[in-house]
A and B are shown apart, each in its own frame.
Chain A
Amino acid sequence: MNEAEVVIIGAGPAGLSAAIQSARCGLRVTVLDEFMKPGGRLLGQLHEEKKGVWWNGIEEADRLYEDAVNSGVHIRLGTTVYHIEKENRWVTETSEGTWESRCLLLAAGAAETPLPISGWTLPGVMSIGAAQVMTNVHRVTPGNKGIIIGINPLTMAIARELQLAGVEIEGIYIPPYEKKFRQMETPEQILAGMQRMAHLAPSFLLRVGSRFLVNQWTRQKAIQFYPKKGLSVWGIPIHFDKTVTKIIGENEVKGGFISSINAEGIIKEEEQYRKEVDFVCISGGLYPLVELAAVAGCPFYLIPELGGHIPLHNQTMHTPVEGLFVAGNITGIESAKIAMVQGETAGLSMGKAVNGTSRDIEEKLHQSVQNEKRIRAEALIQFHPEVKKGREKMHELWQNYVKESAAAKE
């Protein structure tokens, strides 16, 4: 059995930032991650924040990793966590043995939402995140020419990365719509969400005209009279009036059938035509990877603004389960900068949990919570336009929970 004061699951921006803070508080910290490189989702990220200023995730990951190692953090890669359980202390079971710890931080990040499309089991069809990892982490292009199905901030960021790697994107299309599935949206609903892509698709918004986005009727018209060739961003056509009804090929992807789709999501199959490509990316958005929080018995609430079911937590990253903390995308889908500052807060909270309170730590915690709000207000990439509202909902739910459990004790 291995032992530490703090065990952190996930070596992404949240987990590594937390590890650094806890180690600086004097704690013995171990970070576990199933991937063979540290950095989590940072490893795939490359975008231009302002003219000439690039966000390079690999450099950010290297910096965090070095800081963590220099602060005395143990990092175990290639280590898959299967189960966590609270006995006297937390017990974490992994492919490389068992760890015992006083505090446990879940920083497991997010996973991609699937969009089932006819033919999506063919080799050459992948999630957009897989294409990002292939290209930016493993340096293998997913193909020569591809189609992306799904329009959201992740699509725009990764389409640009693929283009920078010399891969041709034939076009970006609306996913087919099926009312039954809650993660599927009509073209009109997707267009409404375009505001959150202001930074990633400025030229597109200028051309569609942001006034078209403000009400449902103008959005319907925008789709009805949408240019047949699409509107281009960085030379990549975006089709708000077309969908891919079937991915075709026998042993691998050869192309797709494209059809018109109206604002309500109804497809006109009679206008179907075929496009030849050698790979297809499906981009359904992200949801928090909460499986370990669920296994630990943490209460959950569904908060769509944060991307799905979220473990109950407060602003200093405590859950109601003793010694269990959360940080990063597991608390809601946001950018890497938010994950980092949440990690710092969690690291400080664990320092306080082990060492007890002091004026210094209270001040740092207060500062870190304020930093998170400031960074959110300045964020360029927003996965959901109402994320702030989602965070406020969670804050309220936590306060209710505290009140109710105090009442129950009396």
Chain B
Amino acid sequence: MMDRETIICRCEEVTYEELITTADSYHCSARELKLRTRAGMGICGGRTCRFLIEDAAEESKEKVYENIPLKYQPPVRPMRFDEGGKNK
């Protein structure tokens, strides 16, 4: 068993406790869990904790086979504001 105070999302400092209590009270999908707790929404864009969030959520395992539960969206890396909209 993991210590519940362990931080899962390092960027937004979300603990395992917060993730599982949120998942339990709202029966959330991975996306909802992310939006409710901000886990996976920090500077690394969820590259570290995305699988942990997916597993902490209450989704059926079958759907996982053909789908990536948490969608990937551009930009896939953090970018500076002044780089947005530029067409060099």
Q: A interface vs B, CB < 8 Å?
A: 1, 34, 80-83, 93, 95-98, 111, 113-114, 116-118, 120-121, 176, 178, 180-183, 245-246, 267, 287, 290-292, 294-295, 299-302, 309
Contact = CB atoms under 8 A, between A and B. Distances in A.
B1 A181 contact: no
26 contacts: A1-B88, A34-B77, A80-B79, A82-B75, A82-B76, A82-B79, A83-B75, A83-B76, A93-B74, A97-B88, A98-B88, A116-B49, A121-B10, A180-B56, A181-B52, A182-B55, A290-B68, A291-B47, A291-B76, A292-B76, A294-B72, A295-B73, A295-B74, A295-B76, A300-B68, A301-B66
Contacts of A180: 20, 55-56
A281 to B, nearest CB: 15
Most chain B CB inside 10 Å of its own CB: which residue of A111, A180, A290: A180
Nearest to B51: A183
A176 B88 contact: no
B28 interface: no
Given A97-B88, A267-B1, A295-B74, A116 B52 contact: yes
A292 B13 CA distance: 26
Most chain-A Cβ atoms within 10 A of its Cβ — which of B8, B56, B76? B76
Contacts of A98: 87-88
- Chain B contact surface mostly: loop
Contacts of B47: 111, 291
Nearest to B65: A302
Given A1-B87, A34-B77, A302 B64 contact: yes
B54 to A, nearest CB: 8
Interface residues of B, number: 33
Contact of B52 (A114, A121, A291): A114
A83 B78 CA distance: 11
B7 A116 contact: yes
